Amino acid sequence: MSGLRDSLQQLRARLGPGPRSFLAWWSQALASWLPARWRVLLGLTRDRLLFQRDGEELRMAWQEGAQRHELARLPATVTGDDLRALLGTRLAELPRWWLLPAGSALRRRLLLPAAAADRLRDVVRFELDRQTPFRAEDVCFDARVLGRREDGQLETELVAVPRTGFDAELAQLGPLSAELAGADVADAEGLPLGVNLLPPEARASRQASGRGLHLALAAVALGALVLGAWLILDNRRAAADAFAAQVSGRAEQARRVSAQRQQLTDLVAGMTALNKARADRPTTVEVMDEVTRRLPDNTYLEKLSIEGDRLMLIGFSPEASGLVARLEGSPLWRSPALSGALQPDPRTRLDRFTLTAELVGTRNATPAAAPAPGDADGAGRD
């Protein structure tokens, strides 16, 4: 067994990994999903014509899957044209195999490593001289996998026939020998074992009837499938783009609503602050009432104006210089002062004055008592 492993490693190092077994498995797996009638139409089944030597005649059978149908007995001189005329196009174009009798081949069971599955025929070639009394050049051989053990090793069977007898039997088939796709060996029930003893260079490659058309139709179907998948994907992308645009529009609308809400919040806050400021500031009526109570009766106002926090009084009074003292101490304003010089009015013989003050009082403040006229006079005399 160690010598077999060494030979296998040498073979794999020289040949490298082969994709053919994987491609064959992959194609068979894909074909298994198709209906049986489609597999027959596309030439994906393993149907074949079997020929056996029976004296001076050839027995012809049709292998359909695991079933074998006997068709006819033919002379050994039958040709491909005779088969087409006899069977029709479909059966005549099936691969043609030579089926050897059950006892004509040497069969040996071998236990091989799992790595030998990819290159089974090449691995078995190294075992021919140890498993049979022949050299590889002297036999036509093949191998098949019987099963896989739990430890991963393969249970295989080597099938070999002497090349001299094989070539002699092959020559007796006449014109059909050049059209054979393979040579198999019958088991005890008359069904093929599943090996191909025909050398690769002598195998004829045949296609089922209309296979080119069928492959073209399969290619068209595959193209339609790809196109349909692409259209579905394109529709999904378009739907995703539309959804993204919708989400973007909703997000923009939400941002505008948020900005408007913020503006409304700021406006409400401003109005609240303005109302609070107005609530803290005395009203015009309160200011006029306070001014009326603090000015003497002989004083006349020409103008009273409130601009923001600034109070301005313009009028005539014989006691203009003492008005500042009368206005001081009010809770509604502060810093009363004369603005500019007093101007005597020759018509009224009164002094024209301009007074300013800064409003700081509150509406709820209790006005201070206005100074008495005597106090104002005393203050003026001082």
Residues 232 and 295 in one domain: no
Residues 161 and 265 in one domain: no
Residues 313 and 253 in one domain: no
- Which secondary structure element, helix H or strand E, spans residue 276, and what is its range? helix 211-280
Contact 99, 161 (CB under 8 A): no
Report how far apart, in Å, the C-alpha atoms of 18 and of each of 13, 26, 116 are.
Answer: 11, 14, 12
**Which one is predicted more confidently, 296 or 278?**
296
Q: Work out the average pLDDT over 7-21.
A: 42
Confidence label for 44 from pLDDT (cuts 50, 70 and 90): low
State yes or no: pLDDT of 7 exceeds 70: no
Residues 183 and 217 in one domain: no
Residues 162 and 176 in one domain: yes
Confidence label for 31 from pLDDT (cuts 50, 70 and 90): low
Q: What is the DSSP letter of 141?
A: E
Residues 76 and 126 in one domain: yes
Q: What is the DSSP letter of 72?
A: E
Reported as a single tens digit per residue, the pLDDT across 261-295 is 999 999 998 888 877 766 767 888 888 888 899 89
Contact 76, 114 (CB under 8 A): no
State yes or no: pLDDT of 4 exceeds 70: no
Which domain-ending residue is among 178, 209, 240? 209
Provide the domain count of the chain.
3
pLDDT at 29: 64
Which CATH number characterizes residue 80's domain? 3.30.420
- Put simply, whether the predicted model's pTM sits higher than 0.75 gets the answer no
- Which secondary structure element, helix H or strand E, spans residue 81, and what is its range? helix 80-87
Confidence label for 8 from pLDDT (cuts 50, 70 and 90): very low
Q: Work out the average pLDDT over 208-226.
A: 73
**Which one is predicted more confidently, 210 or 338?**
338
pLDDT at 316: 92
d(C-alpha 293, C-alpha 160), whole Å: 139
Q: Where are the alpha helices (DSSP H) in 126-210?
A: 128-131, 163-171
**Which one is predicted more confidently, 81 or 242?**
242
Which CATH number characterizes residue 361's domain? 3.30.1360.100
Q: Work out the average pLDDT over 155-163.
A: 88
Q: Work out the average pLDDT over 223-230.
A: 90
Which domain-ending residue is among 261, 280, 299? 280
Residues 149 and 117 in one domain: yes
State yes or no: pLDDT of 88 exceeds 80: no
> Mean pLDDT score of the chain, rounded to an integer?
77
Q: Work out the average pLDDT over 224-253.
A: 91
Residues 230 and 334 in one domain: no
- How large a percentage of the chain has pLDDT more than 70? 78
Report how far apart, in Å, the C-alpha atoms of 180 and of each of 237, 249, 301, 373 are.
Answer: 54, 72, 135, 145
Q: Work out the average pLDDT over 44-58.
A: 77
- From the centroid of its chain, how far is CA 354? 83
Residues 237 and 120 in one domain: no
- Write the DSSP assignment of 308-327 as a string of letters: TTEEEEEEEETTGGGHHHHH
Residues 221 and 94 in one domain: no
Which domain-ending residue is among 209, 226, 250? 209
Q: Work out the average pLDDT over 212-239.
A: 85
Q: Which domain holds residue 80?
A: 2-209
Reported as a single tens digit per residue, the pLDDT across 350-373 is 889 999 999 885 544 444 454 554
pLDDT at 151: 84
Q: Work out the average pLDDT over 127-142.
A: 83
Picking from 66-70, 310-314, 325-329, which range would have the lowest pLDDT averaged per residue?
A: 66-70
Residues 130 and 227 in one domain: no
Residues 101 and 23 in one domain: yes
d(C-alpha 299, C-alpha 151), whole Å: 125
pLDDT at 356: 92
pLDDT at 283: 83
